[in-house]
Structures are given as C-alpha cells and as structure tokens.
Structure 1
C-alpha cells in the first residue's frame, strides 16, 4: 500500500492551458461559441472564421440535455422564440406591402408623375411577369431590355436587366451592365470586349417603342448618352418596361477591291490608239 502511495500523483488544481489552434504558438484566451475552437487573439479569431466559414454565433437551436440545461440556456431560448415571433410579424408586413394590386397602382402613379405614360398588362402576360420595376425612396428602378449590336456577323446580345435607377444617365447604366450578377460568362466577356476603353458617347442609344402604339411619333427615339433615364422616358408611352437598342459609333471599315486599278497617262493611251489604228489599215 505504501509503495502505491509513493507513485501516486494527485491531480493538479489548475487546468492546463490550451494552445491556440490557429497559430499553435500562444495560449488560448477565447473559445468560439459555435465550433468551440480555441484562439488567442482577434486576428486568430477572424482567421478561423474565414478558413472554416464559421459565423462565431452559438447555434441557438442546438439540443441541450437536461443535465446541461441552466438559467442561461433558458434565457437564450426565450430570446430565440421572441426573435422568431418578431421576424414572423415583419415578414407578414413585408408581404402585405408588396401586394400586386397596390404595387401596380404605386408604379403607375409615380410613372405618371414623371410624365411617363406607363401601361401595365394583365398578370398572365409574359412581359408582365418579366417586369420587376419598383418605386422606393422617391426613385423609380426600371427593368430594361437591352438589344446590344455586336459585330456584323454576330447575333445581337439581348439582356433583361433590373433595377436601373431613373436618376442615372443612360450611358452610365449601360457601362455598368458588365458587372451585373445575372450575366453568364459569355455575356460578360462580350460586354467587356465591347466596352473596353470606350466611353458612353462612343455608342448610339435608341428607345424602341411598342409596335402596338404607332400613334406615337415614330417607333424609335434617339437618346443621348448624357440624358437621365427619367428624361429618356418622359412623354413616352411605355408598355411594362422600356427597350433600348445600342450600336457602336465606330466607322464602318472600307473593304479593298479584289482587283487592281491601273492608271495610265493620257498621251500613252493616245499613242496606243494610233498604233492600233495603223495596224488595222
């Protein structure tokens, strides 16, 4: 018995320090509430969030056993339920505010206030479903269909872009299309190649009016790149959303003829004519 006690070492009262799991150099001071990773400083904490994609917030819906459940867990659950109830009320209010009938009325009213004769179609029309124009903060954000003419042997690029603010110029809106998130890789490359090193005044913009309303002054209206979208649409009849055609102002290259043109001196031609006349005699 005494021999056993001689080799027995009582447990230490101090908890051994844990090393930071990111730098593996310093002693840890913090523990992530979500993944429980030990870190020593703010840079290591931020780095662990970036590498592991951790939010750093405790999973409030995680299971807690009855043994581990305490007053802090109860307070956290109550706060979680209150937050869920508050978010539910906000979601219902948001759905009520975007009611289709109310949304259409506000859109037409604000368009008319800007001298735009906006006509909205019935809900089952494809163009009505495509239109995501809206009014917010005293500004209208339009859906625009762009028909961009590329090279002569290429098919025009047709894009439906949403959220064009009516206070921006038409040229500024066009130059910002290449960063739109809805574009695929091919469309983005085509736009970047077209816009490379060019300003807005290097393109001509034309507003295409709806063919069903030919009582308007023509079917196309030339637009200035420095004119705001609001000014472009003023005193126009727009069905759902505007359509803008874009062409480059680059000069058309002149093709070289397949044959060579030889210029002769007049005296040389006269001598040849006289010699041919003598030979015929």
Structure 2
C-alpha cells in the first residue's frame, strides 16, 4: 500500500492515534500539520465523552480500557510527585551538609582500658579496624593488639627497611618479649644480626631463649609518650624507653596513653629511631593517686568480640581538671573487677 500523504512510496509507519499510513518523517510531520493530529495514541488529558467511555467496555462489562488508562495516569502522576519530593529533600540535605565539615570530637572518643588511656579513632579508619584488644574469656585475661616497628641500624639502611607488624591476642600478664610473635622475632634476628635457629627443625627455641638473645644483643624497646590525661589524637614525636627486665605488659602500659592500641619501636640505639623522633625521660607520677567515688566500669561494644567476651573493665572518661575528682557512670549490672591502686595482673589466688 502507498503512503496516504504523498501517494508515491510504500508506507512504513502508522500514526499511533489515527493509524494513518506514512512513508517518511516528512510525510508524518505533514500529516500532523494538515490533520491537526498529535500523534499520541492515548492522551490522558484529552476529554472523553460518556458515550465513548461506555463503548470501551468489554462484552461482560468487567474491564474498561479508558478507565484503566485514567487510573494508570493518576497512579504514575502520584508516584512522580513523591519521587520528586524525596529527591528535592535529599539534594537540599546534601547542599546544607556539604558546607559543614564533619569534626572529630577528641574529648568524647576516649576510654580507659586496664589502666591505659586509649584514644579512639572514628569507626572505619584503618587503625580502628585493626584494633582487636579485648577481654578474652577463655584465657580469662585481657589481650592486646600491639604494633611493632623495627628500626634497622644506620649501617643497614640500604639493606634493610623499617619493618611494621601487628600482633594480636598478646596477654597482658606476659612480658613484652614473650608477646613477640615468630614473624617479629625472625625479622629482629635478620635486622639486628642475631643467630637464629629457625632453619634447624629439630631444635626449637623457647620463649626464654628468644628473650635472652634479644636482651644480650642490646635491643631496646620504646613507646610513644603523650602528656598525662591527653584527650586529643596527636603525634608528639617523643618516645620513652621501656624497662622490660621485670615488668609484664600490664605494668608497662599502665598510666600510658595510646592511640587505639600500643605501638612499640624496636632499635639498638636511639640514633636508629626514625626522624624526627627523640627519646625523652618520662616524668614520674605522684605517689598519691586521688581516689574518686566507687568506680563503675562501662562495657565497650566491639564489633570483633562476641557478647560473652566483653571486657569487664573498660570505662569512658572525660578530662579531669585540677582539684576535681573524676566521675565515671555505667550500667548498674556491671561489676567492678579491680581497683586502680591495688590491681596486680601477675597476682594469682587459690581458693
């Protein structure tokens, strides 16, 4: 059949509204112009007489195409309004919040763990995700995550690089040398030229032998120093040397400040430490510690811990000014484990 407009070419298209046959876009536009046709099959805004509406019923008078068309039109219109309303709210919200930079409140994100002042980072940061320090119920003790940073001697800077490793589940009742993992110990032997019997499978070194080798090699251990009662996350670039001869981890870390978990620097000499870090003398704390009201200890919700592995002694604090006693409030069901002055992690009791 030929095009009903030009009567020359075979038709290719049909008008959705009047079904008039056209062969090209030019003929289609000419048809709309001459016949005043919109080309829209179902114009929902077009008036429909009652007679036309009745004729659209089916034989059983159960369905009506025109009524269904109007219902769909109103439903789509309602949905479009709701979507536009929600989109406008989200866009305005982003615009209002975009001008304000989220600020970290360092005075709130602070917690006392086993006598250690821990500064907590916002959730999602890498160091916060790596922190697995918790109360371990099967071991019946607190376990720490410890970061080890091995600083090679200056004469080996070209051969060895600074080594960093994080050990988990280090018991607070162990000595610092006992908490060194095999990976860290092997690297210490490599960096500090210590004889290692790793290649001999039949001979296995005990923890005491490993500790003795590290001490005899003159390896020193350092920890970052923060001002007492620090409440802000910062890097002081100052280190203090740890006395690891007779103290356990709990005694070494007590009254110290850490960011999430302790960081230990291992070096043979102060000159081998990273620049611009320097070793300072830690000021002695006063012998008399002001006691506050009976301590209540708050539980910390840790994503890595199970419900029955919650630490029995973790309490959030705020900065305490001079002449003011600290006050710590927590749920009444939590039972205090140890007082700060009488706490001895190495003590054992027999019933």
TM-score class, shorter: 0.3 to 0.5
Q: Could you say which structure has the higher helix fraction?
A: 1
TM-score normalised to structure 1 length = 0.40
TM-score between both structures, scaled by the size of structure 2? 0.33
